[in-house]
Amino acid sequence: MEKLIEMVKAKVEDFFRKDASGHSVDHLERTLRYALYLQSKEGGDRDVIAVSAYIHDIHRILGNERHTYVSPKESLPVVSEFIKDLPLSDAQKEHILFAIEHHEDYASGKNGEKATDIESLILQDADNLDAIGAVGLVRTLEYAFSKKRPVYEKSIPLYRNEYEESTEDASTIHHIHNKLLRLGEFMNTKTARQLAKKKTKFLKEFTEMYISEVNGIFD
Ligand SMILES: [Fe+2]
Ligand SMILES: [Fe+2]
């Protein structure tokens, strides 16, 4: 398995080097580690999980290149180029494409089709675990600074809408409130739900402290 991961890394190295967004290789390394940990507790095909975790965000890199949103589904031709020579069965390669196609469908199951296989569920959980906690907070702030999104827009009340990936939140605090604090509810596996608890608590405390400091509430 370690050999397989090395092979994948070597294949995508140059492609990933072009990426300057928050979806850096560090995110993929962490997603891979979360995914392997979840697999050790929850089961599933370790090779499928490892490969899909490491290359799931090719769509983001393509999006940066093309200056527009590229969905995971639209990235599949590029993904299949990268995996075609790997020592995996055809069924495993199909499975990797399926998991990657659905990695962002954790909340609703877009296209009416919700993944139920453990490999896809673990990929969704691993990706979401890296979006919360201390690393998630820093990633969110980095994204906000790069997009010049304000940290907190206190004139706009914190509302809770149906989360849609395409809606821009008014500020980082709104984004944490609308999306990140709810990610724990969307975890598929028991192990991920457990890991998400501490991270969500930390984010909630950060948000509350930030709002009270900005508003001058001292007790
Ligand atoms: Fe993604
Ligand atoms: Fe991701």
Q: Are 15 and 88 contained in the same domain?
A: yes
Residues 61 and 141 in one domain: no
pTM for the model stands at 0.91
Residue 31 CB burial class (10 angstroms; 0-12, 13-18, ≥19): buried
- Same domain, residue pair 83 and 38: yes
CA 117 remoteness from chain centre? 18
Ligand 1 centroid from CA 56, angstroms:
6
Is the same domain home to 184 and 97?
no
Single out the residue in 123, 146, 169 at which a domain terminates. 123
Q: Note the ligand closest to the C-alpha atom of 130.
A: 2
Task: Out of 123, 156, 172, pick the residue that ends a domain.
Answer: 123
* Domain end call among 96, 123, 150: 123
- Total number of domains constituting the chain: 2
In order, the DSSP letters of 120-169 are: HHHHHHHHHHTTSHHHHHHHHHHHHHHTT--S--TTS--------TTSPP
Whether 140 and 212 map to the same domain: the answer is yes
Structural domain harbouring 24: 1-123
CATH number of the domain at 194, please.
Answer: 1.20.58.1910
Considering the domain architecture, whether residues 117 and 153 belong to the same structural domain is answered as no
Helix (H) or strand (E) holding 196: helix 190-214
Per-residue pLDDT tens over the stretch 36-60: 999 999 999 999 999 999 999 999 9
Spacing, Cα 204 to ligand 1 middle (Å)? 24
Same domain, 143 and 216: yes
- Looking at the structure, tell me whether residues 144 and 44 fall in a common domain: no
- What residues have CB less than 8 Å from 84, skipping those under 6 apart? 93
SS3 107: coil
pLDDT of the residue at 109: 55
For residue 147, pLDDT beyond 60: yes
Domain harbouring 100, CATH code: 1.10.3210.10
The amino acid present at 13, given as its one-letter code, is E
CA of 140 to the centre of ligand 2 (A): 13
Q: How confident is the model at residue 22 (pLDDT cuts 50, 70, 90)?
A: very low
Q: Residues with Cβ within 5 Å of ion ligand 1?
A: 57
109 lies in the same domain as 135: no
Distances (CA, A) of 199 to 149, 180, 203, 204, 206: 23, 10, 6, 9, 11
Phi/psi-derived region of residue 117, left when phi > 0, alpha when psi is between -120 and 50, beta in every other case: beta
**15 vs 48, higher pLDDT:** 48
Calculate how far, in angstroms, residue 38's C-alpha sits from the geometric centre of ligand 1.
18
What band does 156 get if pLDDT is binned at 50, 70 and 90? confident
Mean pLDDT (whole number) for 78-83: 96
Which of 71-85, 116-130, 156-170, 202-216 shows the lowest mean pLDDT across its residues? 156-170
48 and 68 together in one domain: yes
Based on the domain organization, do 101 and 173 belong to the same domain? no
Residue owning tokens 């990797």 = 96
Q: How far is the CA of 33 from the centre of ligand 2 (A)?
A: 13
